[in-house]
Amino acid sequence: MPTPCIGISTYLESSVRWGVWDLPAAVLPAGYHELVQRCGGLALLLPPDDPGAAEETVARLDGLVVTGGPDVDPRRYGAARHPRTGPAHERRDAWELALIDAALERGTPLLGVCRGMQLLNVALGGTLIQHLPDVVGHGGHCGPPGVFARHVVKPVPGTRLAAVLPEAVTVATYHHQALDRLADGLTASCHAEDGTVEAVELPGAGGFAMGVQWHPEAGTDVRLMQALITAARARRDAREAP
């Protein structure tokens, strides 16, 4: 059978250096596509595009990964900007929100990673904590610049996530924002020891719709991506059945 096609959203940066070049570029940490490939998927990178192209794009995919990255523009969830919130990336916000909407509409298996989980919550009407240390009183969810921190997360029994990760695990993490008000329909399926929501899922979705606050592409545990690939393969097979 054909390999499941997994779309992965990317950054769009105004200046990226490689070799003798310094040019605008769509970029993505290699851990994302390598994890998809390691788990049996065909990785397709999706740079920001016109949001109107999202439906056609998702129609050609078997699964979707919305990746980590910069802070979501607080205007997207009706909030004033916190002093520690980063610059807006309007094209990426618009594109990834449109991808999420299209994936949910079509029942395409979806995994949001870090920012991707936050966008899933915002897409469905939820809000974000703009600077998590203000709430939890520590900076343990984010290491020094460019370095992942690590902490334990505990899945909620009975959730789909707990079926994939049945035990507490140590994860790679790099974020200063987090979920605040959960969107209607989303279920918190994992927490950090300080109570921070570390994963959500959409139980009513016909397929696989999940977000995690940590970075599976920066660790060695492949179970979460394997679950997405399995769901993508099942979705494709059901769609192609006579």
Residue positions annotated with a catalytic role:
114, 215, 217
Residues 6+ apart with CB under 8 A from 89: 12, 69, 70, 73
What DSSP character marks residue 184?
Answer: T
Please give the Cα distance from 210 to 187 (Å, whole number). Answer: 9
Using alpha carbons, list the distances in angstroms from residue 197 to 69, 121, 207. Answer: 18, 11, 22
Amino acid type, 127 = T
Query: Cα 185 to chain center, whole Å?
Result: 17
DSSP of 35-89: HHHHTT-EEEEE----GGGHHHHHHT-SEEEE---SPPPGGGGT-PPPTTPPPP-
